[in-house]
C-alpha cells in the first residue's frame, strides 16, 4: 500500500519514490510506469531542493521548500509557505503568459512541494549561458513579452480595485520572503552585517564607502519604501538571470517564490540589472581566443531591446484594454488620445526610473551582500574579479543616485559603455 504523506517531511531521492506512488496525478504523468525511474537532486539555487524525475514514459521536476535558507543552513529559518506563493504565481503568470512559464502539475501545501514541467536540456540557466558567452536571439522579445503580460494583467490598469485587493490580500502572506529581500537588498549592503562579503582586500574601501554615502542612503530608503508600500502588480520578485532557463528557441521563467504585489520596476530592474552585471563580468571571462567584445555588444543590444520592446508591448496592452474594467485610468476621465498619451508617458517614465533604481540596488547587493553571482564568482583571479566588480559598482551607484536624469535606455547603454 502506498505510504501516506499527511505531515510535512523533507524528501530525498529515495523517499520521493514513495511520495510519487502516493499521488495518482504524478503516477499518470509517468504513465504509471515507475520502473527504472531516475531521480536526481539538482538544486543549485539559494533556497530549496529540486529533484529531476525522469521515467521511460514521462518526466517532471519536484521542488520542495524546507524550513530554512539552503545556502546558509538552519541558522537562517524561513517559512516553507513560500512554496504556496511560488505555485500560485507560477499558475497566475503561466495563465497570462503560457509560452514562458513551466506548467504546474501538482501542488502539495502540507509537503511544501511543487511538481512542474521539466525544462529538458538543452535548457540551461541563463546566467550560465551569459558566463559561457552564448547569444540568445529571442531573449529580449520573450522577456519583454513575459514582463509586459504578467505586469500589465495583474495591475490596476487592467483590473478593478476589488480584484486587485483580493490579489494583494492573498500575496501579503508572503511576508517572510519580502522581509528577506528588504534585509539583503535594501539594508545589509549599507551597514555592517555578518552576512556581507566582497572580494577582499581589493573592495574593502568600496564596501566601506557604501556605508558612508549619504546621497545613496537617501535614495535606497526611497526604493525600500516603494518596495514595501507600492502594490502595483503581482511581480515575480526575484527575476534575475538564474530565474530564467533558455535554449536558442525557448525562454522560461522559473522560481517565483518571492512573488507579491509590489512595484513593477523591481522585476524589470532585476532582469536588466543582472544583464548589466553580466556585461561587466565579460572582461574577466575574456581570453586570447575571445576578447568578448562582440558578446558585450550583444548584451547591450539585449538591454536596450528588452526595455524598448517591454515599453511598446505594455502600452499596446493598455491601448487594447483602455475601455475595459481597469480602475486606474477611467475612460470617462482619460477620454481623449492626447490625455491617454500623456498619462502613458508619465507612467512609463516613472517605471523607467524605478527600474533603474531597483536594477542598481540589485547590482550592489550582488557585489557586497550575502548572495553573489556566478558571473563574477567564476573569475578565479581575485584582482581581475575585483576590477570588474568595482566598475559594476560605480555604474550602479551612478544609476541609483542619478536615475531621474536618464531619459531613455540608449542613455543608460552609453553610461554602461563609458563605465567599462
- Interacting residues toward ligand ADP by CB under 6 A: 42-48, 50, 61, 63, 70, 102, 116-119, 125, 242, 254-255, 257
The verdict on whether omega for the bond into residue 122 sits within 30 degrees of 0, i.e. cis, is yes
- 193: contact with ligand SR1 by CB under 6 A: no
CA 310 from centroid of its chain's CA atoms: 16
Smallest distance from ligand ADP to CB 71, Å: 8
Nearer Cβ to Mg ion, position 272 or 373?
Answer: 373
Q: Are strands 233-235 and 260-262 parallel, antiparallel or unpaired?
A: antiparallel
* Window 213-252: residues binding ligand SR1 (CB under 6 A): 238
Longest CA–CA span in the chain (Å) reads 69
Residue nearest to Mg ion (CB): 45
Q: Determine the size of the site formed for ligand SR1 (CB under 6 A).
A: 9
Name the one residue in this structure whose C-alpha cell is 536558442. 248
Residue 351 near which of ligand ADP, ligand SR1, Mg ion, none (CB within 5-8 Å, type-dependent): none
- 45: contact with Mg ion by CB under 5 A: yes
Residue 371 near which of ligand ADP, ligand SR1, Mg ion, none (CB within 5-8 Å, type-dependent): ligand SR1
The span of 21-29, 55-63, 179-187, 326-334 binding ligand SR1 (CB under 6 A) equals: 179-187
- Which of 16, 20, 53, 69 binds ligand SR1 (CB under 6 A)? It is 69
Residue 241 near which of Mg ion, ligand SR1, ligand ADP, none (CB within 5-8 Å, type-dependent): none
Neighbours of 392 (CB within 10 A): 27
Sign of the CA dihedral 390, 73, 236, 301?
Answer: positive
CA 359 from centroid of its chain's CA atoms: 11
Q: First and final CA of the chain: distance in angstroms?
A: 63
Nearer Cβ to Mg ion, position 80 or 313?
Answer: 80
Nearer Cβ to ligand ADP, position 124 or 156?
Answer: 124
DSSP 296-316: HHHHHHHHHHHHHHHHHHHHH
DSSP state of 139: H
- 255: contact with Mg ion by CB under 5 A: yes
What are the φ and ψ backbone dihedral angles of 332, each rounded to 5 degrees? -70, -25
Nearer Cβ to ligand SR1, position 82 or 123?
Answer: 82
Angle at 78 between CA 359 and CA 165, to 5 degrees: 65
DSSP 1-40: -PPP--S-----TTHHHHHHHT-HHHHHHTTT--TT-EEE
- 46: contact with ligand SR1 by CB under 6 A: yes
Q: Are strands 124-125 and 73-77 parallel, antiparallel or unpaired?
A: unpaired
- Which of 50, 184, 254, 315 binds ligand SR1 (CB under 6 A)? It is 184
Residue 50 near which of Mg ion, ligand SR1, ligand ADP, none (CB within 5-8 Å, type-dependent): ligand ADP
How many Cα atoms within 13 Å fall on the side-chain side of residue 402?
Answer: 13
- Which of 228, 371, 378, 415 binds ligand SR1 (CB under 6 A)? It is 371
Nearer Cβ to ligand ADP, position 44 or 319?
Answer: 44
Nearer Cβ to ligand ADP, position 116 or 220?
Answer: 116
Q: Is residue 103 classed as helix, strand or coil in its secondary structure?
A: coil
The span of 84-92, 102-110, 143-151, 177-185 binding ligand SR1 (CB under 6 A) equals: 177-185
Closest alpha carbon to 70 in 276, 246, 291, 257: 257
Smallest distance from ligand ADP to CB 48, Å: 4
Q: Which residues bind ligand SR1 (CB under 6 A)?
A: 46, 69, 72, 180-181, 184, 238, 370-371
Amino acid at each position: 500500500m502506498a505510504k501516506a504523506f499527511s505531515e510535512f517531511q523533507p524528501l530525498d531521492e529515495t523517499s520521493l519514490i514513495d511520495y510519487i506512488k502516493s499521488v495518482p496525478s504524478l503516477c499518470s504523468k509517468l504513465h504509471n510506469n515507475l520502473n527504472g525511474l531516475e531521480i536526481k537532486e539538482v538544486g543549485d539555487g539559494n533556497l530549496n531542493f529540486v529533484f529531476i524525475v525522469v521515467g521511460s514514459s514521462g518526466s517532471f521536476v519536484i521542488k520542495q521548500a524546507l524550513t530554512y535558507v539552503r545556502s546558509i543552513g538552519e541558522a537562517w529559518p524561513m517559512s516553507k509557505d513560500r512554496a504556496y506563493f511560488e505555485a500560485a504565481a507560477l499558475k497566475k503568470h503561466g495563465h497570462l503568459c503560457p509560452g514562458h512559464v513551466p506548467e504546474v502539475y501538482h501542488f502539495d501545501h502540507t509537503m511544501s512541494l511543487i511538481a512542474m514541467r521539466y525544462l529538458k536540456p538543452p535548457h540551461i540557466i541563463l546566467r550560465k549561458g551569459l558566463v559561457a558567452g552564448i547569444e540568445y536571439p529571442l531573449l529580449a522579445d520573450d522577456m519583454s513579452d513575459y514582463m509586459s503580460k504578467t505586469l500589465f494583467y495583474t495591475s490596476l490598469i487592467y483590473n478593478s480595485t476589488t480584484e486587485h485587493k483580493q490579489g494583494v490580500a492573498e500575496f501579503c502572506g508572503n511576508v517572510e520572503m519580502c522581509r528577506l529581500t528588504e534585509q539583503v537588498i535594501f539594508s545589509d549592503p549599507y551597514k555592517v552585517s555578518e552576512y556581507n562579503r566582497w572580494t577582499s582586500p581589493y573592495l574593502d574601501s568600496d564596501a566601506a564607502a557604501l556605508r558612508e554615502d549619504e546621497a545613496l542612503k537617501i535614495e535606497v530608503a526611497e526604493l525600500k519604501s516603494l518596495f514595501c508600500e507600492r502594490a502595483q502588480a503581482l511581480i515575480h520578485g526575484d527575476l534575475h538571470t538564474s530565474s530564467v532557463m533558455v535554449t536558442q528557441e525557448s525562454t522560461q521563467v522559473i522560481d517565483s517564490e518571492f512573488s507579491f504585489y509590489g512595484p513593477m520596476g523591481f522585476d524589470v530592474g532585476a532582469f536588466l540589472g543582472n544583464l548589466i552585471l553580466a556585461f561587466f563580468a565579460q572582461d574577466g571571462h575574456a581570453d586570447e581566443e575571445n576578447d568578448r567584445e562582440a558578446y558585450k555588444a550583444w548584451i547591450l543590444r539585449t538591454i536596450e531591446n528588452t526595455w524598448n520592446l517591454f515599453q511598446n508591448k505594455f502600452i499596446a496592452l493598455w491601448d487594447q484594454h483602455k475601455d475595459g474594467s481597469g480602475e486606474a485610468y477611467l475612460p470617462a476621465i482619460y477620454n481623449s488620445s492626447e490625455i491617454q498619451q500623456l498619462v502613458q508617458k508619465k507612467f512609463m517614465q516613472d517605471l523607467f526610473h524605478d527600474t533603474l533604481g531597483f536594477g542598481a540596488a540589485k547590482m550592489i547587493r550582488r557585489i557586497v551582500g550575502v548572495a553573489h553571482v556566478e558571473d563574477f564568482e567564476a573569475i578565479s583571479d581575485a584582482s581581475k574579479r575585483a576590477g570588474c566588480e568595482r566598475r559594476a559598482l560605480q555604474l550602479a551607484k551612478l544609476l541609483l543616485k542619478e536615475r531621474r536624469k536618464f531619459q531613455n535606455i540608449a542613455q543608460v547603454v552609453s553610461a554602461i559603455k563609458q563605465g567599462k
